């Protein structure tokens, strides 16, 4: 489980962490808590919480459909 793993990183270090995780997570379950959309490339499923309640659950495409309340956030 990673809680805001790149929050204090510059873009270069964040990119390196994402690339390394991308290589190392194949076949594994990874839980990421983040506000950064750059980490979405690592995930297959997104669960959006609002005030502690699940407001959306599905593929990252839900971020672009408006179903999550975060339209435009997906990459």
Residue 32 lies inside a defined structural domain of this protein:
yes
Cα(63)–Cα(40) distance, integer angstroms: 10
Say what the pTM is: 0.67
**Tally of structural domains, the chain:** 1
Residue 50 lies inside a defined structural domain of this protein:
yes
**What's 33's domain CATH number?**
3.40.50.300
The residue range of the domain holding 24 is 2-65
Cα(43)–Cα(5) distance, integer angstroms: 14
Residue 27 lies inside a defined structural domain of this protein:
yes
Residue 19 pLDDT > 90, yes or no?
A: yes
Q: Which pLDDT band, with edges at 50, 70 and 90, does 63 fall under? A: confident
Mean pLDDT of 30-35: 89
Low-confidence winner among 18-22, 31-35, 62-66 (lowest mean pLDDT): 62-66
Residue 73 lies inside a defined structural domain of this protein:
no
Mean pLDDT of the chain: 84
Nearest to 30 by CA among 44, 19, 17, 20: 44
């Amino acid at each position: 489980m990673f809680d805001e793993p790149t929050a204090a990183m510059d873009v270069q270090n964040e990119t390196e962490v994402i690339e390394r995780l991308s290589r190392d997570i194949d076949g594994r379950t990874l839980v990421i808590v983040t506000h950064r959309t750059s980490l979405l490339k690592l995930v297959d499923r997104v669960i959006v919480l609002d005030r502690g309640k699940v407001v959306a659950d599905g593929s990252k495409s839900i971020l672009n459909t408006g179903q999550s309340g975060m339209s435009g956030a997906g990459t």
